[in-house]
A and B are shown apart, each in its own frame.
Chain A
Amino acid sequence: MSVMIDTGNYIAAKAAVMARPAVVPAYPITPQTTLVEGIANYVKTGEFKGEYICVESEHSAMAACIGASATGVRTFTGTSSHGLLLMHEMLHWAALARLPIVMCNINRVVGPGWNIWTDENDSISQRDTGWIQFYCSSNQEIFDTVIQSFKLAEHEKVQLPVMISYNAFILSHTSMPVYVPDQKDVDNFIPKRIPKWKLDVDNPITFGNIILPAAYEKVRKDMQDSQEYAKKLIPEISKEWKKQFGRHHGDLLELYKCEDAGYILLSMGAIGAESKVSIDNLRKEGIKIGLARVRCFRPFPREEVLKLGKQADLIVIDRNISVGMEGAVFTEVKAALYNNSDAKAYGFIAGLGGKDVTFGDIEKMCKKVVNGKAKQLEWFGFEGV
């Protein structure tokens, strides 16, 4: 084990290379650029021995991941914002083909207006592609989640691609210290991928041919079953990681001071980390409040959220908006409670377009709920919150 201090993107590059993918196809886009630069540098130093493909677009990047992964090897890529959106068709393809591709997505605003800062609308709008979705809150979590995701994606009962999102600049370009395990320990944690099927010139098969309605429905049902299985597997992998490397970032949720809480705040990504400072401050004022940081958005931790709803009212901060409705996490939280809980739930939209969200801002939102002044859905910074 060694300590490395670097930005989220370079840490992700390090983790990706230590997972020993056979193929990394990538196309640069701000603020993901330094991630693929990092991997390219490992090609130069000889630390990355796989195939690095400079493709002509993100659509091609994902198509190349699909082609490579279908031959049974491990693949990795990274993108952001409009790059992710250009991949959209191929994201569905990767998931339906049950290919365990691992990809980092640096959460960046979708234009126009042109904006390179962070919010989650890029990845949230890929919610229904069948990918497992993690949201990270520190560089250490980025490293650990990249390695863990290969184990999850390649598990025989999962066989689905995994997207690891983290905030533009706030994590992608911020240096923090990260514990990096020895290569042999990573190799033991994620041994070589054993594909359930593969394209093989010596044993030809076709894949992606016509499929009749009843069989297709089974394909979809099987994806759903696999995501449900992932809910059980994610905590097991987290536990195994903790046992081996001593670090734990939570399971599907990371719970912080929830035991006696009458209010529980749910947030994701960097706001999830900042929220811990707010929780400590609010508790000093006598407010019994806890934090459930949403690490995994797909599969959504329905059962865990319902459990929280049995003990507390819930406050959700979304750095995204499904225009015409509300924040995406807020929708899921309410769905998890429906029919089974009397808990009240309040949603805030905050930090779109990369607007800074400070611990003080988070405290203001929570206090508005605690003081009984909050409407069910509010935009922070508007309407006098």
Chain B
Amino acid sequence: MLSKDLVEIVFHGRGGQGSVTAANLFVAAALKDGNKGVQAFPFFGAERRGAPVRAFARISGDEIHLRSEIYTPDIVIVLDESIMDMVDVLKGLKKNGRILINTTKNPKDFDFSKKYDVATVDATSIALKHEILVGGIPVVNTPILGAVPKIFDRVTLKSIQDTVKDKWKGEQGNKNVKATQDAYDGVEVDF
């Protein structure tokens, strides 16, 4: 049987927004927090800039033997609100599942907040504020990760920031760390 403390997460975004990097940074941070079994992987397909993409993460206290895709996530993270018009991001989300959305709206603005725990954060504005841009486009992956510890207590903001600093040195690292802090402070949680 699945380990009791196995948590499965699906990231939805658009090609170029850094969904795969978000999943990788997230599990690296989870490992720092003592979750022994972690796994991150992209949807295995052709990736195009702007097209809907998915990335997956698993977190467990034990070694993870699963190698299949995630069909019934515990947590869904949406990096681009507009994707919800074309992709059913709630598909398979477990009862009592949680969803974190990059949006300017509040959790109660979403109908499904009656059924699921919804959290919102304006990660795009945070990315713009800290000039986290690739080709002029805001990259929301690190900002949105800063909001995750508010909805999932097995990963700490400190580990996320340490992981960000491991990946980006100097000014780039500092900008990303500040962005995670802003997201952590700015997330709206409706549960």
Binding site for B on A (CB under 8 A): 3, 5, 116-117, 137, 167-171, 173-177, 270-271, 273-274, 276-277, 280-281, 284, 354, 356-359
For the complex, what is the distance from the CA of A186 to the CA of B141, rounded to whole Å? 37
How would you classify the secondary structure of chain A's contact residues: helix, strand, loop or mixed? mixed
Q: Does residue B65 face the partner (Cβ distance < 8 Å to A)?
A: yes
For the complex, what is the distance from the CA of A170 to the CA of B41, rounded to whole Å? 8
For the complex, what is the distance from the CA of A193 to the CA of B137, rounded to whole Å? 51
Contacts of A167 in B (CB 8 A): 67
- Contact A170–B27 (Cβ < 8 Å): no
- Contact B68–A174 (Cβ < 8 Å): no
- Size of B's binding interface in residues, CB under 8 A: 21
- Contact A175–B2 (Cβ < 8 Å): no
User: B67 contacts which of A117, A274, A281 (Cβ < 8 Å)?
Assistant: A274
Tell me, rounded to whole Å, the shortest Cβ–Cβ distance linking B82 to chain A: 26
- Contact B38–A356 (Cβ < 8 Å): no
For the complex, what is the distance from the CA of A276 to the CA of B2, rounded to whole Å? 10
- Contact B40–A174 (Cβ < 8 Å): yes
Contacts of B186 in A (CB 8 A): none
- Contact B38–A173 (Cβ < 8 Å): no
- Contact A357–B68 (Cβ < 8 Å): yes
- Contact A175–B68 (Cβ < 8 Å): no
- CB < 8 Å A-B pair total: 65
Tell me, rounded to whole Å, the shortest Cβ–Cβ distance linking B73 to chain A: 14
For the complex, what is the distance from the CA of A338 to the CA of B69, rounded to whole Å? 37
- Contact A359–B38 (Cβ < 8 Å): no
- Contact B1–A274 (Cβ < 8 Å): no
Contacts of B126 in A (CB 8 A): none
Q: Which of B1-36 contact A (CB under 8 A)?
A: 1-2, 23-24, 27-28, 31, 36
Known contacts being A170-B67, A273-B67, is A176 close to B2, with CB within 8 Å?
Answer: no
For the complex, what is the distance from the CA of A357 to the CA of B67, rounded to whole Å? 9
User: Which residue of chain B has its CB nearest to the CB of A31?
Assistant: B44
- Contact B67–A270 (Cβ < 8 Å): yes
User: B65 contacts which of A3, A173, A274 (Cβ < 8 Å)?
Assistant: A274
For the complex, what is the distance from the CA of A276 to the CA of B28, rounded to whole Å? 25
For the complex, what is the distance from the CA of A71 to the CA of B36, rounded to whole Å? 44
Q: Does residue B66 face the partner (Cβ distance < 8 Å to A)?
A: yes
User: B1 contacts which of A116, A168, A280 (Cβ < 8 Å)?
Assistant: A280
For the complex, what is the distance from the CA of A170 to the CA of B44, rounded to whole Å? 8
Tell me, rounded to whole Å, the shortest Cβ–Cβ distance linking B119 to chain A: 25
- Contact B41–A174 (Cβ < 8 Å): yes
Known contacts being A173-B42, A176-B38, is A271 close to B31, with CB within 8 Å?
Answer: no
Contacts of A117 in B (CB 8 A): 44
Q: Does residue B102 face the partner (Cβ distance < 8 Å to A)?
A: no
- Contact B41–A277 (Cβ < 8 Å): no
Contacts of A270 in B (CB 8 A): 67
Contacts of B36 in A (CB 8 A): 177
Tell me, rounded to whole Å, the shortest Cβ–Cβ distance linking B55 to chain A: 10
The 7 closest A-B pairs by CB, nearest first: A169-B44, A270-B67, A174-B41, A358-B68, A276-B65, A175-B40, A273-B65
Q: Does residue B39 face the partner (Cβ distance < 8 Å to A)?
A: yes
- Contact B44–A5 (Cβ < 8 Å): no
- Contact B69–A356 (Cβ < 8 Å): yes
User: Which residue of chain B has its CB nearest to the CB of A30?
Assistant: B46
Contacts of A271 in B (CB 8 A): 67
Tell me, rounded to whole Å, the shortest Cβ–Cβ distance linking B18 to chain A: 15
Q: Which of B28-77 contact A (CB under 8 A)?
A: 28, 31, 36, 38-42, 44, 64-69, 71
Contacts of A170 in B (CB 8 A): 41, 44, 67
